[in-house]
Amino acid sequence: MPDRAGISSASAEPFGVYVHWPFCLSKCPYCDFNSHVSAKVDHARWRAAFIEELKYFKALAPERTVSSIFFGGGTPSLMEPETVDAVISEIRRLWPWTNQVEITLEANPTSVEAGKFAAFREAGVNRVSLGIQALNDKDLKFLGRTHDAAEARRAIGIARDNFERMSFDLIYARPGQTVPGWRAELNEALELAVDHISLYQLTIEPETPFFARHAKGEIKLPKDDSQAALYEVTQEALEQAGMPAYEISNHARSGDESRHNLVYWRYHDYAGIGPGAHSRIRTSDSGGQIVTKAIQTVRAPAIWLDRVGKRGHGISEEEAVGRAGRLTEMLMMGLRLRDGVDKDRLEREAGCDLKTLFGTSLLSDLEEAGYIEAPHSRLAATLEGRQRLNAVIAALTEKLEDEA
């Protein structure tokens, strides 16, 4: 059996709590997140349901110290500040906290009001993440956003006035986008940014309006070489500005990385509440063995709300993650990071060294191709490797097998 020493120490590691608010003012045509448009929301009922499900997860993960809380969605800035306050207060009641808990709330520019942001700050939120997506009206309209560029800039200003830490998202590799145009947009974004920015390449996801339009030829993304050039410009501009990529799509000044997202990428435990939320929690099985449980709640908001009222939780799936699954997830998440995966932890999880796990020839081939690097304490993907991460991970995990 593999050495479980590192797994049973979950209580000493960072622990995040994710809260999913599923409602938006409108559904963006590129979005495949679990988000819904609703004319009426019973905020009091949702507030009570969040608190009830938190109690259930406390029982699943009792010996944890919360390091981060993240309100995602959907558009969590549509929540009433009283709900945010109640959820934060309940998390504080249920678990001990680290000295500097990061509490992030996502917001769209159309839902940003100075008074509401001040109320979120009073509730305990200390970081916001804005869904800006573009800084010109033409592309905002194409992306189906309900705000314009002026409103985006105003929202950034309100966020900066209310919070010391803030981030915003932009989407690039949009149809017709050129390197000079993107460079100019990046320069403006860097003037507006504080400590963190997320820059995502536009992808066409199944079961979205963009997918159908793309299949009909109505949407033409830049060709591969153009997308590569846009990516390279992104890395160059952000490096020069002192905000290098610490993860494939996320850039920050040193020390200002998203602590909550690092919980995911470093494969620590987290609890996710709300419809469609995921959790990874290490716990003991009936035989006293430490197991990693993958937990998901039901996606439909109305069904989740009903189940929490009847059962105290909205969990729809719960299963133990086997050795191959844990190693695959650790690689899928950790290799997104510039720093990669902690080699000692990976070997403890595997129960053997990396050469035995992957094979000397495969590691050598990937290193010689310039896709991975394996210094003494880390296994990391290079910049080239992170651009081809799916292929790199597929090669590394192809022969992984669960123990019997």
pLDDT digits (tens, 9 = 90+) for 138-194: 999 999 999 999 999 999 999 999 999 999 999 999 999 999 999 999 999 999 999
- The percentage of the chain sitting over the pLDDT mark of 90, rounded to a whole number, equals 84
**Worst-scoring range by mean pLDDT, 15-19, 33-37, 201-205, 247-251?**
33-37
Per-residue pLDDT averaged across 58-78, rounded? 95
1 confidence band (pLDDT: 50, 70, 90): very low
| pLDDT number for residue 404 | 32
| Beta pairing class for 15-21 and 66-73 | parallel
Cβ–Cβ under 8 Å, residues 321 and 230 = no
CA distance 203 to 230: 14
CA distance 278 to 285: 20
What are the angstrom distances between the C-alpha of 121 and each of 21, 102, 103? 18, 12, 10
The superfamily in CATH containing domain 7-263 is: Aldolase class I (3.20.20.70)
Q: Would you call 96 helix, strand, or coil by DSSP?
A: coil
The 10s digit of each residue's pLDDT in 113-141 is 878 999 999 999 999 999 999 999 999 99
* Vertex 145 angle, CA 142 and 151, to 5°: 120
Which residue, among 153, 338, 368, has the nearest Cα to 257 in the 3D structure?
338
Cβ–Cβ under 8 Å, residues 276 and 296 = yes
Cβ–Cβ under 8 Å, residues 71 and 120 = no
Q: Which two tokens stand for residue 21?
A: 């608010």
> Packing angle between helix 323-334 and helix 343-350, nearest 10 degrees?
160
CATH number of 336-404: 1.10.10
Q: Would you call 285 helix, strand, or coil by DSSP?
A: coil
| pLDDT number for residue 113 | 85
Please check the confidence at residue 229 and state whether its pLDDT lies above 70: yes
Please check the confidence at residue 6 and state whether its pLDDT lies above 70: no
Please check the confidence at residue 42 and state whether its pLDDT lies above 70: yes
On the 0-12 / 13-18 / 19+ scale of CB atoms within 10 A, 48 is: middle
Report the side by side order of strands in the sheet with 97-107.
245-247, 250-252, 196-201, 165-172, 127-133, 97-107, 66-73, 15-21, 270-273, 278-284, 290-297, 315-320
| pLDDT number for residue 58 | 97
pLDDT, mean over the chain: 93
Cβ atoms < 10 Å from Cβ of 42: 11
Q: Judge whether 7-263 and 336-404 match in fold.
A: no
| pLDDT number for residue 403 | 46
| pLDDT number for residue 38 | 84
7 confidence band (pLDDT: 50, 70, 90): very low
On the 0-12 / 13-18 / 19+ scale of CB atoms within 10 A, 50 is: buried
Per-residue pLDDT averaged across 306-311, rounded? 97
What's the start-to-end Cα distance of the chain, in Å? 10
CA distance 132 to 45: 30
Which residue, among 6, 20, 28, has the nearest Cα to 83 in the 3D structure?
20
23 confidence band (pLDDT: 50, 70, 90): very high
The 10s digit of each residue's pLDDT in 218-228 is 999 999 999 99
Please check the confidence at residue 280 and state whether its pLDDT lies above 60: yes
Per-residue pLDDT averaged across 230-243, rounded? 96
pLDDT greater at residue 404 or residue 256: 256
Please check the confidence at residue 217 and state whether its pLDDT lies above 50: yes
| pLDDT number for residue 192 | 97
The 10s digit of each residue's pLDDT in 325-346 is 999 999 999 999 999 999 999 9
Per-residue pLDDT averaged across 82-111, rounded? 96
The domain segmentation of the chain, as residue ranges, is 7-263, 336-404
pLDDT greater at residue 243 or residue 63: 243
On the 0-12 / 13-18 / 19+ scale of CB atoms within 10 A, 387 is: middle
Q: Which two tokens stand for residue 176?
A: 């017709």
- Helix ranges restricted to H, 96-136: 114-123
CA distance 314 to 57: 11
| pLDDT number for residue 375 | 78
The 10s digit of each residue's pLDDT in 344-381 is 999 999 999 999 999 999 999 999 999 999 878 999 99
